[in-house]
Amino acid sequence: MDGYVLCAVWGTRWSALRAGVATNLSNPKAVVFFSSIFAQFVNPNMGTMWTIAIAAFLIVSGLAWFIGLACVVRVAASALMSNSAWIDLGAGVIFLAVGVIMAIEGVARIVS
């Protein structure tokens, strides 16, 4: 996928970055996860610089993870985009099958 497509969807690269950061920060699972990790390594007796260093490490490691993930996904994106109709069809069939199974089980419980 080309960077121009990303800009067409999100406006600019910075607005895409802001949307990603806002999404990640508003995710309660991410906040709980990082808070639990951060709390294990921060001691009230530590200095402020040590706490800032740990926070900086978490930020840098998170950025490295998401940049690496974006690079890997970019390679697979063209294959996924070219087969999107088949992927949508497969997902639709799976959802339909799950819905039918749930409906049958619901009717069976009502009848019995």
Give me the pLDDT at residue 72, please.
83
pLDDT digits (tens, 9 = 90+) for 68-90: 888 888 778 877 888 889 999 99
Domain boundaries, the chain: 3-83
Which helix (DSSP H) or strand (DSSP E) does residue 10 occupy?
A: helix 3-10
pTM: 0.48
